[in-house]
Structures are given as structure tokens and as C-alpha cells.
Amino acid sequence: MSRGLDSAVHLVQQFLSCTAQSGGTFVDATAGRGNDTLFMARLAGPDGRVFSFDIQEDALQSTRLLLEDAGMADRVTLVKDSHEHMERYVSGPVDRVIFNLGYLPGGEHSFITKADSTVPALQSALGLLRPGGRIGLVLYTGHPGGREEYEAVEKISAGLDNALFSVIKIVILNRAATAPVVIVIEKAGVK
């Protein structure tokens, strides 16, 4: 995997890790193969807590194995439910949330993330976020429904009150128009 400017996931992780402090609450809204959950578990440290959501058992099993191999399974709660229900499992305040959207690499494409559930999940994450907290999203537009999901997330993000939130979008300019896009939202205030 690229670790440079051409990797949207690497970019979002950079924005989530800088200024993060261990010991808080972290959320991976889409566990997938567990790479972002492992990243969050490292940020959380031994005294922090990570909640990692996915609707596919296949994804949660991959994530569980990755965490066990890294010796970090004990700091992560794996949740088999849609991220739109995150408030049922996570009580704020939350330090960092990552949404790496789309479908499970090497998995069933019918379990793709969709605007209908991504939008309420983002709204829940915004409500749970602590002052100084950040939400990072990686959005893919090349598959059916991807552009609609991206446009819905962009509309909410762009409409956030700029006294309460700062929002940036990163587009990789010299790649195809369908290259992944990164959005990072920061809540005002110091942790």
C-alpha cells in the first residue's frame, strides 16, 4: 500500500493522528479488513477504547484476527451493526472517527456503504465528537451509488457552522476523476 500523497487512506490517517492523544474514545465506522481499526487502536493506546462497526461478519472476523496478531484486541469493541446506530454503543465524547467508505476489499459488493445510512452515521458522529475532535472520511465515487454518497457527505460537511467546525476536502488532482476524496472535520475547542 502506498504511504504517500497518492493514498487517500494514508492522508486521512495523517490528519487523524496529528494532535491525537491516547487514552480517549475512538471509532472506526467501517471495520472492513481491520487496518483502520488497528490504526485507531494504536492511537488509543492501552488506556483508550476503540469501537469498530461493520455489518459483515467476514469483516469483523478479519479485524479480530488482525488485532489479536498485534496484541491489541483487548482495547477494541467490535460491533456487528450499522454505523448509523453508533449512539447505542458509544457514549461521547469521542476523540476521532474514521469512515473509510465503499465495499470490503475482496468481499461481497452488495454490502457497500450507502448515503441512507452514512448520512445519519455522520450526524451521530458529529454529535458525539469532543471539542478538538476530528472525523476523517475517505469517499469513493467510481462505483454505483458512490457519487450520491459523496455528494450527500459533502453537502452536510460544507453546511456545518464555521464557528463550530472546520472542514477540509482533499482531492488528488493528477489522478482520475473517480480517485478517492478525503474530507476531515474538526470540532472547535481544545481537548
Ligand X SMILES: C[S@@+](CC[C@H](N)C(=O)[O-])C[C@H]1O[C@@H](n2cnc3c(N)ncnc32)[C@H](O)[C@@H]1O
Which residues make up the interface to ligand X (CB under 6 A)?
A: 30-36, 53-56, 59, 82-83, 100, 102-104, 111, 113, 117
CB of 34 to ligand X, least distance (A): 6
Q: Euclidean distance between the first and final Cα of the chain, in Å?
A: 32
Pick the closer one to ligand X by CB: 105 or 131. 105
CB of 189 to ligand X, least distance (A): 27
Pick the closer one to ligand X by CB: 25 or 56. 56
Please give the Cα distance from 97 to 52 (Å, whole number). Answer: 10
Pick the closer one to ligand X by CB: 90 or 132. 90
Q: Decide: 51 and 89 in contact? Cβ < 8 Å.
A: yes
Q: What angle do CA 120, 74, 24 make, to 5 degrees?
A: 55
Q: Using CB atoms, what's the residue nearest to ligand X?
A: 32
CB of 87 to ligand X, least distance (A): 13
Please give the Cα distance from 114 to 121 (Å, whole number). Answer: 11
